[in-house]
């Protein structure tokens, strides 16, 4: 239910259940977990791209798999969240390389949370975000209540989460929920550009940047200085820093090897 390639250090995960807008099933979760095993074990990892097949990115949990019991019985929803969604989101956040979402269409429910867990998000102009949870009597999960207020502030987070109205890609960009909107026609080109950028990037610097920016929301300024010192010390010894400085002096583009 996904396709996964790993070339030149860049993993591309494509959610692939287009007829159900790539909504999550247990099978899809298992396949994503296997892809993450591979990505985590790859010493030369330089980036990951997440996208979807068809007109949607991800419509959240497959509601067919979680059918409300017609007989009125209730169920524990936390198990799925703890065993499937939490590891997925936490593992993507912890990867020592940027995870870039190239959002090809609508993201709803846990699908929206997945997008927000990515380090950088490009979205086609026709894409929308829907905090669909309240419409089925739930709260935003899969990290949604953590990501949303940090990205857009509590007023917008509350409005979006409580009322569940669609947020357009343009609005999401204006709010700072995503990095950039691209024309629908540029989807494939955006994916190719991101792939080339990640494959040729200063991978160690990217990893340190990701780590530091993620750590900042729980740190004081003094703690963040300590982290910057520790990480910059390491980067000062990398091949890529040497190459970056040489390229600057020689007025040419750097050729980073990711080391
Ligand atoms: C779907 C789905 C879907 C199955 C579209 N499932 N088939 C929840 C519970 C438990 C534990 C843990 O966490 C969670 C977290 C969650 O993610 S809760 C939120 C779940 N997601 C939603 O409530 C979103 C449901 N989908 C929608 O509201 C719409 O499909 C959106 C607004 C995403 C897109 O609308 P349209 O562009 O009009 O497409 P559509 O509704 O016609 O969908 C196309 C097909 O995909 C359709 O099937 P059909 O047989 O009629 O062609 C939908 O039934 C199916 N589909 N989402 N989540």
What does DSSP assign to residue 132?
G
Reading phi first (left if > 0) and then psi (alpha if -120 to 50, else beta), residue 54 is in: left
Integer Cα distance of 244 and 160 in angstroms = 42
Integer Cα distance of 212 and 192 in angstroms = 27
Residue with the nearest Cα to atom 29 of ligand 1?
A: 59
Mean pLDDT over residues 164-188, rounded? 98
Q: What number does the ligand 1 atom closest to the CA of 130 have?
A: 32
Q: Are 100 and 198 in contact (CB under 8 A)?
A: yes
Q: What number does the ligand 1 atom closest to the CA of 166 have?
A: 32
Q: What is the pLDDT of residue 74?
A: 87
Which candidate, 52, 23, 36, 131, places its Cα nearest to that of 90? 36
Integer Cα distance of 237 and 241 in angstroms = 7
**Ligand 1: residues whose CB is within 6 Å?**
20-21, 23, 59-64, 66, 77, 80-81, 106, 108-110, 130, 132-133, 136, 138, 141
CA of 21 to the centre of ligand 1 (A): 7
CA of 205 to the centre of ligand 1 (A): 38
Mean pLDDT over residues 147-162, rounded? 97
Query: Angle 204-227-154 (CA atoms, 0-180°, nearest 5)?
Result: 100
pTM of the model: 0.97
Model confidence pLDDT, tens digit, residues 78-124: 999 999 999 999 999 999 999 999 999 999 999 999 999 999 999 99
Model confidence pLDDT, tens digit, residues 181-217: 999 999 999 999 999 999 999 999 999 999 999 999 9
CA of 60 to the centre of ligand 1 (A): 7
* Pocket perturbation via mutation, ligand 1, pick of 21, 29, 61, 89 by most ligand atoms within 8 A of CB: 21
Confidence of residue 139 (pLDDT cuts 50, 70, 90): very high
Confidence of residue 72 (pLDDT cuts 50, 70, 90): confident
Which candidate, 152, 199, 150, places its Cα nearest to that of 175? 152
Q: What number does the ligand 1 atom closest to the CA of 64 have?
A: 4
Mean pLDDT over residues 14-22, rounded? 98
* Pocket perturbation via mutation, ligand 1, pick of 108, 135, 139, 141 by most ligand atoms within 8 A of CB: 108
Say yes or no to pLDDT of 68 above 80: no
Mean pLDDT over residues 150-158, rounded? 97
Q: What is the pLDDT of residue 137?
A: 95
Q: What number does the ligand 1 atom closest to the CA of 62 have?
A: 6
- List of residues 6+ apart from 53 with CB closer than 8 A: 3, 14, 15, 16, 17, 18, 22, 104
Say yes or no to pLDDT of 232 above 80: yes
| Distance from the Cα of residue 81 to its chain's centroid | 17
Q: Are 108 and 139 in contact (CB under 8 A)?
A: no
Average pLDDT, the chain: 97
Evaluate whether ipTM surpasses 0.90: yes
Integer Cα distance of 143 and 82 in angstroms = 11
């Amino acid at each position: 239910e996904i396709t996964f390639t790993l070339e030149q250090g860049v993993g591309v995960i494509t959610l692939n259940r287009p007829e159900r807008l790539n909504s999550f099933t247990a099978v899809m979760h298992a396949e994503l977990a296997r892809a993450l095993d591979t990505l985590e074990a790859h010493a030369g990892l330089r980036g990951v791209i997440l996208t979807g097949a068809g007109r949607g990115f991800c419509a959240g949990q497959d509601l067919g798999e979680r059918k409300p019991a017609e007989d009125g019985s209730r169920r524990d929803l936390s198990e799925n969240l703890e065993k499937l969604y939490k590891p997925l989101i936490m593992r993507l956040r912890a990867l020592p390389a940027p995870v870039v979402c190239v959002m090809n269409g609508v993201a709803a429910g846990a699908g929206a949370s997945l997008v927000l867990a990515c380090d950088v998000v490009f979205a086609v102009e026709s894409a929308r975000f829907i905090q669909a949870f309240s419409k089925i009597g739930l709260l935003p999960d899969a990290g949604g209540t953590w990501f949303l207020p940090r990205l857009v502030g509590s007023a917008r987070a509350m409005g979006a989460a409580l009322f569940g109205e669609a947020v357009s890609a343009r609005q999401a960009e204006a709010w700072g929920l995503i990095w950039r909107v691209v024309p629908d026609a540029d989807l494939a080109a955006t994916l190719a550009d991101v792939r080339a950028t990640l494959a040729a990037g200063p991978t160690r610097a990217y990893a340190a940047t990701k780590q530091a920016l993620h750590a900042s929301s729980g740190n004081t300024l003094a703690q963040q200085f300590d982290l910057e010192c520790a990480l910059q010390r390491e980067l000062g010894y990398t091949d890529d820093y040497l190459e970056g400085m040489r390229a600057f002096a020689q007025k040419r583009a750097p050729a980073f090897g990711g080391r």
